[in-house]
Amino acid sequence: MRKMKPRVIVTRRWPAAVEQILAERFDATFNEGDAPLSPTQLKAAFLNFDAILPTVSDKLPAGIFPDADIRTRLLANFGVGFSHIDIDLAKARGITVTITPGVLTDCTADIAMSLLLSVARRTGEGERQLRAGGWAGWCPTHMIGTKVTGKTLGIIGMGRIGKAMARRAHFGFGMDVVFYNRSKVDDGETRAMGARQLASIDDVLAEADFVSLHCPGGAENRHLINAERLGAMKRGAFLINTARGDVVDQKALVAALREGKIAGAGLDVYDGEPAVPAALIETENVVLLPHLGSASEETRVAMGMRAVENLVAFFEGRPVPDRVV
Ligand code: DGY
pLDDT average per 10 residues of sequence, the chain (325 residues): 90 98 98 96 98 98 94 98 98 98 98 98 98 98 98 98 98 98 98 97 98 98 98 98 98 97 98 97 96 98 98 98 98
Catalytic residue status for 273: yes
Q: Which of 116, 132, 143 is nearest to 239 (CA)?
A: 116
Q: Which of 48, 39, 46, 25 is nearest to 94 (CA)?
A: 46
56 Cβ closer than 6 Å to some ligand 1 atom:
yes
CATH code (residue 273): 3.40.50.720
Q: From CA 93, how far away is CA 84, in angstroms rounded?
A: 17
In a domain, 322, yes or no: no
Catalytic residue status for 291: yes
Q: What does the CA dihedral 251, 257, 259, 263 come to, rounded to 10 degrees?
A: 160
Name the residue with the closest Cα to ligand 1, atom 6: 79
**Pair 129, 211 in one domain:** yes
**Pair 41, 147 in one domain:** no
CB atoms within 10 A of CB 305: 17
**Pair 130, 188 in one domain:** yes
In a domain, 324, yes or no: no
Q: Which of 155, 151, 152, 220 is nearest to 185 (CA)?
A: 155
**Pair 155, 262 in one domain:** yes
Print burial letters for 195-227: b (CB count within 10 Å at least 16), e (below 16).
bebbeebebbbebbbbbbbbbbbbeebeebbbe
Ligand 1 atom closest to residue 81's alpha carbon, by position in its atom list: 3
In a domain, 95, yes or no: yes
Choose which residue among 82, 97, 104, 105 to substitute to test ligand 1 binding: the one with the highest number of ligand atoms within 8 A of its C-beta: 104
**Pair 221, 308 in one domain:** no
Q: From CA 34, how far away is CA 266, in angstroms rounded?
A: 28
For residue 178, what are the β-bridge partners?
A: 154, 196
In a domain, 1, yes or no: no
Question: How far apart, in Å, are the Cα atoms of 81 and each of 64, 163, 181, 239, 312?
Answer: 19, 16, 17, 20, 21
Q: Which of 214, 229, 244, 306 is catalytic?
A: 244
**Pair 125, 258 in one domain:** yes
**Pair 99, 114 in one domain:** no
**Pair 229, 274 in one domain:** yes
Contacts of 1 (CB under 8 A, 6+ apart): none
| Residue 277, burial from CB neighbour count under 10 angstroms (0-12, 13-18, 19+) | middle
In a domain, 325, yes or no: no
Name the residue with the closest Cα to ligand 1, atom 3: 81
Residues spanned by the domain of 134: 105-288
Q: Which of 19, 167, 170, 273 is catalytic?
A: 273
**Pair 185, 310 in one domain:** no
90 Cβ closer than 6 Å to some ligand 1 atom:
no
Q: From CA 33, how far away is CA 134, in angstroms rounded?
A: 39
| Residue 16, burial from CB neighbour count under 10 angstroms (0-12, 13-18, 19+) | exposed
Catalytic residue status for 244: yes
In a domain, 215, yes or no: yes
Q: Which of 289, 305, 247 is nearest to 102 (CA)?
A: 305
In a domain, 244, yes or no: yes
In a domain, 147, yes or no: yes
- Where are the alpha helices (H) located in 244-317, listed in sequence order? 250-258, 278-281, 297-315
Predicted local distance difference test score (pLDDT) of residue 1: 64
Ligand 1 atom closest to residue 56's alpha carbon, by position in its atom list: 7
Predicted local distance difference test score (pLDDT) of residue 68: 85
**Pair 272, 138 in one domain:** yes
**How many structural domains is the chain composed of?**
2
Report whether 168 contacts 174 (CB < 8 A). no
Do the bridges between strand 176-180 and strand 210-213 make them parallel or antiparallel, or are there none, so unpaired?
Answer: unpaired
**Pair 308, 231 in one domain:** no
- On whether ipTM exceeds 0.85, the answer is yes
Predicted local distance difference test score (pLDDT) of residue 107: 98
**Pair 110, 86 in one domain:** no
Contacts of 33 (CB under 8 A, 6+ apart): none
